[in-house]
Structure 1
Amino acid sequence: MSLTPLLPPALPFFVYGTLRPGEPNHDHFLRGRTAAEEPALLQGAALYDGPGYPYVVEEPGIVRGDLVTARPEEYGALLVALDHLEEYVPGDPRNLYERVEREVVREADGTPVRAWTYVAAPAVAEGLRRHGSRIATGDWLALR
C-alpha cells in the first residue's frame, strides 16, 4: 500500500486576470514555463473587479481568458506557484479562491478542454454578488 499523496491531474490552466499576457504576473509566473497559451472562454461564470485583480464567480455569464498549457517538466512547480499566488490551500475555509476543474472552450476552434481555474471561494462570491462590481464584458483586459 502506497502512502504517496494523490496528485491532481495535470490539466492546463484557465487564467483571466493578472496572469494573462501583458499583465503583471504573466512574466513572473508563466514566462518560460508554458508550451502553449491561447484565447479561451469560460461559460457559466461572471467576472468581478477586485482590489487590483479580478474574481470569477460561478453564475450565468462568460469570462474571456487564456488557456495555458504548462511544459511537462514545469507542471508541478507551476501548480505550486499558482496555488501560492492565489493563496489557495486545499480545504482551508480562509481561501479567497478555490482551484476547480472546469470546461473551457478554445476561441480558435470551439474545442472544449478541461482546465484548472481559480474561482471566488463561497464567502467571497456571496460578498461580490451583493456588493461587487461585475465586469460586463467578462474581459479583464477590456478594463486596462
Structure 2
Amino acid sequence: MTREERQLRQLGTLVDLRERERARLEAALADQRATEQRYRRNLERLQQLARSAGATARSPALSPSLLLNAGHYREAVLDLAERHREDLARHETQLAQTQQALVGATLRHRALDQVHDRQQQRVGQAQAQQAQKQQDELATQVWWRGRAAAG
C-alpha cells in the first residue's frame, strides 16, 4: 500500500468520524428542539391555569378561605411559570450552542470530505498511470519479441 493510499484511508476514517459527530449533534439538536416545544406548551398551559385561577379568585360567591386558597394557587402557578421561562431561556442558550457546534461540525466534515475526494482523485490518477506504464512495458516487450522472432 502506497503512502497516498494510506493517507486516503486515514482521511476516510476522519471523514467518517466527522460525519458521526455531525449526526450526533443533529440528533442532540432535534432532542433539544423537542424539549423546547414541550417547554413552550407547558408554559402555555400554566398561563391558562393562571388565568382560570384568576377568574376563580375574583368570584364573589366563594368563601374567603376558598378565595385565599385560589389566590395562593394562582400565585404558585405564576411562580412555576416564571421558573419555567427561566429554564426555557437556559435551554434556548444551550440550543443555540448546539446549533453553532453543528455548523462547525458540518463545515469540518465538508472540508475533510473535499480533501478526501481530492486525495482519492490523486490516488486514482496514480493507479491509472501505473496501469498505463505496465501496459506500455508489456507492449514494448511484445514489440521486441516480435522483432527478435522476425529478425
Shorter-chain TM band: under 0.3
Bigger proportion of residues as strand: 1
TM-score, normalised relative to structure 1: 0.22
In our comparison, the structure showing a higher alpha carbon Rg is 2
TM-score, normalised relative to structure 2: 0.21
Bigger proportion of residues as helix: 2
